[in-house]
Structure formats: C-alpha cells, structure tokens
Structure 1
C-alpha cells in the first residue's frame, strides 16, 4: 500500500490483492466508478456502483467502521474520485492501483457476462 498525505487526509493506493483480502474480510466498502455499461458487463462481486460522471460525495456511505476504496478500469478515474472525496471532507480514502484491468491480471474472481445467454456468471480465473 502506498500512502500520500493530502491536506489533513491520507490517500491510500492499494493493490488488487490488498483490496481482495479486505473485501473478503468485510473491512471496506468497494465502490466502482466506471460507467453502468462497464459494470453490467463485468464487475467485482459486492462492489457498489457510483459512476464518476454522477459522483456526489454527499451520497457516499459514512466511514465509521469501513474504509472507502474506489476502483475503475485503469486507476485514473478512481484516483480522481478519491481526491474529490477527500476534498469533500472524507479522511480515510483509498483507490485500487491499476483498476479492474489489474484485478483481472492478478487472476482474482469477478462477475462477468455469459455471452451465450447474456446472464451474469462468476469468473474464477
């Protein structure tokens, strides 16, 4: 994990493996900032959808127990969203380095689309 101080807050950059471990342990709220179309095609199971285009920090869940971790396709949009959340007053924010592409490269499970039926299906590389 990399940490950067932004004002009074800490912006953390987590690896896909760190995000996976924390998600399985119930320690984080994972928020996907990609488009609804990207999310529908494939996403990390349990991730909430809040597209960057519609991002509103007032709609974020509180941080009383769990850290918020943002992710996107490559890490660019999630870092932008994380910085916007910090600007809105959140102080324990993280984003996933490399985004969903890095998640898939790490061979972590996700929900994809069965191209024959169009139905969602678990993908366990």
Structure 2
C-alpha cells in the first residue's frame, strides 16, 4: 500500500524536546498522541496534564466534533482554534507531521510536531 508523501513542515511547526519538557512542566500545551492505543500501551506516553490519545485515522473527525462530544469521547476539553497550542506526538514524527497538516487545514493555527516523537522523548530522560 502506497503512503502519500508528507509535505515537509516549516521550522516553526517543529517542537524540540527541550522546549517540550519546559512547556509540559508549565502546562502550556495540549499534547495529542496520534499513535494507536496499543502502541501507547507498549511504549508509554508523555506525562502531560493535557495529554490525549487520538489515533491519526480519527483525528480529522475528532477535531470537527462539538466541544461537548469531544470532551465526552476524549476526557478533556477540545482545543480551541485559533490560538491554543497543540503538539502532536507519534512514534518517530511521521504521523504527527500529517496531523499538523490536517489540523492546519481545519483552522488550528498553533500546531507542531514533536521532533523525533516518542522514541526521542523517552531517550531524553
């Protein structure tokens, strides 16, 4: 099965591990992990107050839900657009890059990809 090419993200759409650690500690960011739940269970998650798991295949639908339906399904308030900062996370960065593009297309303007994904995050501790 052929996967479409991912458009390279701009530098301002990338979040470094160092910045992410600081932002998570200060609760300044919503973290959306776009891996499948079994992958999260196997390799862990970012310990952020506003962390949620929305697999990439569900993301566009989720971001178009009403705030009430979103919170019922995912357990946290829906990120607001424009303005609320979201960092997408996956295993190594490929799916999170696609998530950035999808969220941008839906009007979310402050979205980033965590550079290196969960694998780099885990190695940084």
State the TM-score, normalized to the length of structure 2: 0.71
Partners of 2:84 and 2:34 in 1: CA distance: 18
Q: CA RMSD in A?
A: 2.0
Q: Pairwise mapping of residues 1-125 of structure 1 onto structure 2 (< 5 A)?
A: 4=10, 12-41=13-42, 42-46=44-48, 47-56=51-60, 57-59=63-65, 60-63=78-81, 66-107=84-125
Instruction: Looking at secondary structure, tell me which structure has more helix per residue.
Output: 2
Cα distance change of structure 1 residues 89 and 65 upon mapping to structure 2, 3 Å threshold: closer
Instruction: Looking at secondary structure, tell me which structure has more strand per residue.
Output: 1
Partners of 1:18 and 1:63 in 2: CA distance: 22
Structure 2 stretches lacking a partner, 5+ long: 1-8, 66-77
Q: Which runs of 4+ in 1 moved over 4 A?
A: none
Partners of 1:16 and 1:49 in 2: CA distance: 19
Q: How many residues align?
A: 100
State the TM-score, normalized to the length of structure 1: 0.71
- For residues 39-84 of structure 1, the C-alpha deviation after alignment (integer angstroms, 9 at most, x for no partner) is 1231112321111021122145214663011010000000100110
Partner of 1:120: none
- For residues 2-30 of structure 1, the C-alpha deviation after alignment (integer angstroms, 9 at most, x for no partner) is x828xxxxx52011121111011111001
